[in-house]
A and B are shown apart, each in its own frame.
Chain A
Amino acid sequence: MAKTIMVVDDSASLRQVVGIALKGAGYDVIEGRDGADALSKCTGQKIHLVVCDVNMPNMDGITFVREFKALPNYRFTPVIMLTTESQESKKEEGKAAGAKAWVVKPFKPEVLLGAVAKLVLP
């Protein structure tokens, strides 16, 4: 059974690009348009990993990670931040919120897939 990865990004094209890479590697993908939309979709189903942007409307990525990790079902679900931000201070915020990795856009699909393969829950 394919593992499920949630992709959270306000850019539809980025969700599409990430989705292509992940689906090509055999993962199932569910999408969130922003942090709030993604949280509304976390209804207890198994999510093996989350790939999340930082700068988004309604709810930014850091806040989403913080609230997502506070949900009992997803306490141990790893999160990869995928963003154009590369400042160390932002990375620290992500780490403090509970993210496991930080990938800077533009990304190479094999780099993202490498990080996903390393972190995805069994």
Chain B
Amino acid sequence: MSTKSGFDSRVVIPLGLAGAGAAGTIVAGWSRWGWYTVLWGLALLALAVWSVLREQSGGATGGASASVETYLHSRQAFSDAVLPVWCRHIENSRSQMEQAVSDLAGRFSNIVDRLDTAVHVSSHDNARDGQGMTEIFSRSETQLGSVVGSMKSAFESKQAMLAQIKDLERFTRELRDMAEGVASIAAQTNLLALNAAIEAARAGPAGRGFAVVAQEVRHLSSRSAETGKNIANRVGLISSAILAASEAADRTAAQENSSMQSAEAMIDSVLHDFRSMTDALVASSELLKQESVGIQGEVGEALVQLQFQDRVSQVLAHVQQNIERLPELLREHSDRYHAAQILEPMDAQPLLRELQKTYAMAEEHAVHGGSGRAQPAAAAADEITFF
């Protein structure tokens, strides 16, 4: 304990006693007891000086110890304060990244699903409609061909009927000839009857009966001539009707032929357009399918790439675990100091070894070994082992 003036009481008191003893000895004359007092005072003085010096030496040691304590305490407080914040940031980043990648994968999943649905519907429609359309096309083609065939057949029937009608003309001609034959016979009969009447008149009363017969034959020939004329007239009418019908049928046939050709051309045109449309539909559906396969391949590749999150997350987790271990290691270091009063140098190797033990990927070992930036692992088809 020091006085305010800088003198220590442990020095002043023995020095005072020794001084007082020496002064008493001088005043009382030099005696043995006086010398004892001086020696005792000097011994106390020496003890006091030793005590002060020791205390001063001990004070320096105690100050250093306090500094170390302060440092260790602050170091622990530092690590306790900083490292949890770092870890929370890492954890937060990890979870954000995981959430984002998970959402991204979900979006890709939706894209693939919707693409699948679109392709499925398209394929189904194409299979149903495309195939259906092809079937409809074939059926329509057959049916329309059948219609055209029926029309042709009807046309040919009409042509055959027309030919038969034209054949009737021949019969009417024959009928006309026959009518003319009848008229000719009637004329000759009339002439014959006339001659018979002349001969009957020349025969006198004996020829009266014959004259009656001749008269009747003339009547008959007149009626035959009349009938022949009527027949010729009727045949002429029939012939005219047949001719008119034939001409009308010819005109109709020409129109029908033209219509049929026009219909055939239109049917061909419609079928061609229909075929073009179905071909285009099938081609676009096929293109959609190919594009879909391409996009699905791209999405598959993206899914491989998205797995980076798992690897990065693992690395961050390992580093975070290692960081979280640091305060404990610092505490253990402090504890060892308190136990042995020896401040050991910090050794990074145990912590690094702990970190190394957590590694799961080759790239972590590579980075740890300091071999530069490790290439992210690529998906490898041979990385599969069957047991």
Please give the residue numbers on chain A whose beta carbons come within 8 Å of chain B beta carbons, in ascending order.
9, 11-14, 16-17, 19-21, 23-24, 54-55, 83-86, 91, 94-95, 99-111, 114-115, 118
Complex alpha-carbon distance, A21 and B108, angstroms? 11
Given contacts A94-B387, A111-B381, 13 further A-B contacts (CB under 8 A): A11-B310, A13-B104, A14-B307, A16-B102, A20-B105, A20-B109, A20-B112, A20-B303, A86-B361, A100-B387, A101-B384, A106-B307, A107-B383
A110 near B300: Cβ-Cβ < 8 Å: yes
Q: How far is the CA of A91 from the CA of B383 in the complex (A)?
A: 12
Report B261-318 residues with CB < 8 Å from chain A CB.
Answer: 296, 300, 303-311, 313-314
**Which chain B residue has the least Cβ–Cβ distance from A16?**
B105
Interface string of B353-368 (1 = CB under 8 A from A): 0000000111000000
Chain B 56-67: CB-based contact to A (< 8 A → 1; otherwise 0): 000000000000
- B385 contacts partner chain A, Cβ-Cβ < 8 Å: yes
Is B380 among interface residues, defined by CB-CB distance under 8 A? yes
Q: B91: CB under 8 A from chain A?
A: no
User: Once the chains are docked, how many angstroms separate the CA of A12 from the CA of B98?
Assistant: 7
Interfacial residues of chain B within 76-106, with CB under 8 A of chain A in the complex: 98-99, 101-102, 104-106
With beta carbons under 8 angstroms apart, the residue of B303, B360, B381, B387 that contacts A83 is B360
Shortest Cβ-Cβ A-B pairs, 9 listed: A104-B383, A106-B307, A16-B105, A13-B101, A13-B102, A102-B385, A95-B387, A12-B102, A108-B379
Q: For the complex, what is the distance from the CA of A13 to the CA of B310, rounded to whole Å?
A: 8
A109 to B302, CA, bound (A): 11
Chain B residues near A115: list those with CB within 8 A: 384, 386
Any A CB within 8 A of the CB of B378: yes
Contact of B309 among A13, A83, A108, A118 (CB under 8 A): A13
Q: Quick check: B387 and A86 within 8 Å, CB to CB? A: no
**Interface pair B303/A86, CB less than 8 Å apart:** no
Task: Give the docked Cα–Cα distance between A121 and B112 (Å).
Answer: 26
| Residues from chain A with Cβ under 8 Å of B324 in the complex | none
Q: How far is the CB of B183 from chain A (nearest CB, A)?
A: 100
A84 CA / B314 CA spacing, docked (Å): 9
| CB atoms of B303 and A17 under 8 A apart | yes
List 8 A-B residue pairs with CB atoms under 8 Å apart, sorted by A's residue number: A13-B307, A20-B303, A21-B300, A24-B116, A105-B311, A108-B379, A108-B381, A109-B300
Known: A20-B105, A108-B379. A13 touches B387 (CB 8 A): no
B311 touches A17 (CB 8 A): no
Chain B residues with a Cβ closer than 8 Å to the other chain, count: 37
* B342 interfacial contact with A, CB 8 Å: no
A84 touches B105 (CB 8 A): no
Inter-chain residue pair count (beta carbon < 8 A): 107
Bound form: Cα–Cα A84–B104 in Å: 21
Residue in A13, A17, A83, A110 whose Cβ sees the most chain B Cβ within 10 Å:
A13
| In the assembled complex, B377 has its CB within 8 A of some CB on chain A | yes
Determine the residue in chain B with the shortest Cβ distance to A95: B387
How far, in whole Å, are A90 and B385 apart by their CA atoms in the complex?
12
Residues of A within 8 A of B108 (CB): 20
Give the shortest distance, in Å, between B278 (CB) and chain A (any CB): 31
Q: A95 CA to B307 CA in the complex, in Å?
A: 24
Q: Is the CB of B314 within 8 A of A55?
A: yes
Chain A residues with Cβ under 8 A from B387's Cβ? 94-95, 99-102
The winner among B105, B296, B378, B387 for most chain A CB atoms within 10 A is B387
A90 to B361 alpha-carbon distance, docked (Å): 12
Which chain B residues lie closer than 8 Å to A101 at the CB level? 384-387
Residues from chain B with Cβ under 8 Å of A108 in the complex = 300, 304, 379, 381
For B364, the closest partner residue in chain A by CB is A84
Give the nearest-CB partner of A54 in chain B. Answer: B360
B384: chain A residues at CB < 8 Å are: 101-104, 111, 114-115
Q: Which chain A positions have C-beta within 8 A of B307?
A: 13-14, 17, 105-107
Q: Which residues on B sit within 8 Å (CB–CB) of A95?
A: 387
Q: 1/0 contact trace for B190-229 toward A, CB 8 Å?
A: 0000000000000000000000000000000000000000
When C-beta atoms are compared, the residue in chain A nearest to B378 turns out to be A106
Q: A16 touching B109 by the CB < 8 A rule?
A: yes
Q: Are A106 and B360 in contact (CB under 8 A)?
A: no
List of A residues within 8 angstroms of B101 by Cβ: 13
Q: Which A residues are in CB contact (< 8 Å) with B112? A: 20, 24
